[in-house]
Amino acid sequence: MRLSMRTMMSAVLALALAIAFPACRKEAAAPGGDVATEGDAAMTVQKDLYGRLADGTAVDIYTLKNASGLEARVMTYGAILVSLKAPDRSGALADVNLGFDTLQGYLGTHPYFGAIIGRYGNRIAGARFTLDGIEYRLPANDNGNTLHGGLKGFDKVVWKGEAVRSGRGPGVKLSYLSKDGEEGFPGNLAVTVVYTLTDANELEIRYEATTDKKTPVNLTNHAYWNLKGEGRGDVLGHVLRLEADGITAVDSAKTLIPTGEIAPVAGTPFDFTAPHAIGERIAQVEGGYDHNFVLRSGGGALALAARVEEPESGRVLEIWTDQPGIQLYTGNFLDGSVVGKGGHAYGQHYAFCLETQHFPDSPHHPNFPSTILEPGQTYRTVTVHKFSVK
């Protein structure tokens, strides 16, 4: 009888311990000192020192790897996507994102390679806007207009980095406080950007922002893609489809300021509603493509915006977003003077950009979707880059 009682007490104790301490998975130190969960060993986040600014400020780089072998590297300077390695149809990995091998390259003059753009992606006409009767003047850094946030936008500041993990894959969270008056914009704007590399071979970018004063906000990422691999020639043979029936018409190829008109693409070189090679009609577009396409989805919910296929490698990139617009830029100003990774000189059309966004110069066009963020509101948007092969 005593033996049965002892057995019963052991069982009760075991049950009590199980309730008090739910089953835990073993954890092991991942490279760089981060913690990886057992069973997720193929999904890692590694943090390393990438370099220092002239004043000694440290710049860290986070390497994300998913279970399928994709690798993304993101640094805290400019919240820049430094590289993205994706397989071709034979499984060979290549970096499909233009950029530099070292921090020093990013500290020099370059066309926003891989950077997070803010406060306002694209252009604001006349380097000024009026909000509630107050005129705000901004740096004029592009033909008398403001481009990509001004002289020192979000691409040229050091963000705070933090490794994060979700059930979808490894990631890095970057945070930055843009102070009231920075580059002429009103309000203290607290921004977070989370890059996640999912096991569905997606690079997801989530943006959030809050402010204490009304201010225009239009965040995007300025990655330069070449699905053959960076430095491996132009992208004119890439085949593009865009889910857009219109563009925001511009005043000229030089200034690229919207007129306010939404122009239909049907019957023009801007019609990518059916797949076309990027270079098929580019000669008919003065200066090359650098235009905002008005997405059919209208924004507000995640929807397919673009699909790009590279015939030689078989790599395919789909871009999904909840934004109302996407800017197609075909590396028109690359001229071989920028020497990037591996000593590659990046020539004209060596990359394309597909920047998800609200429309350019929206503060001057009431008919465009509003970009004004108010206190008490939270700016939230997501863009997904999905990689596959064909």
**Contacts for 93 with CB less than 8 Å, ≥ 6 apart:** 69, 71, 85, 86, 87
The continuous run of DSSP H or E covering 95 comes out as strand 93-95
What token pair was written down for 36?
């990886």
Catalytic residues: 222, 355
The Cα 372–Cα 363 span in angstroms is: 8
Secondary structure tally for the chain: helices H, strands E: 2, 29
- The amino acid occupying position 215 is T
The continuous run of DSSP H or E covering 8 comes out as helix 2-20
What token pair was written down for 177?
């406080």
Residue 361 and residue 293 in contact, taking contact as beta carbons nearer than 8 Å: no
- In this structure, the strands spanning 315-321 and 379-389 are antiparallel
Output b/e per residue, 227-251; b: 16+ Cβ within 10 A: bbbbbbebbebbbbbbbbbbbbebe
- The amino acid occupying position 273 is T
- The amino acid occupying position 328 is L
| DSSP helix/strand/coil, 135 | strand
The continuous run of DSSP H or E covering 176 comes out as strand 169-178
Query: What DSSP letter does each residue of 281-319 carry, written as one string?
Result: SGGGSTTS-EEEEEETT-SSS-EEEEEEE-TTT-EEEEE
The Cα 71–Cα 197 span in angstroms is: 8
| DSSP helix/strand/coil, 363 | helix
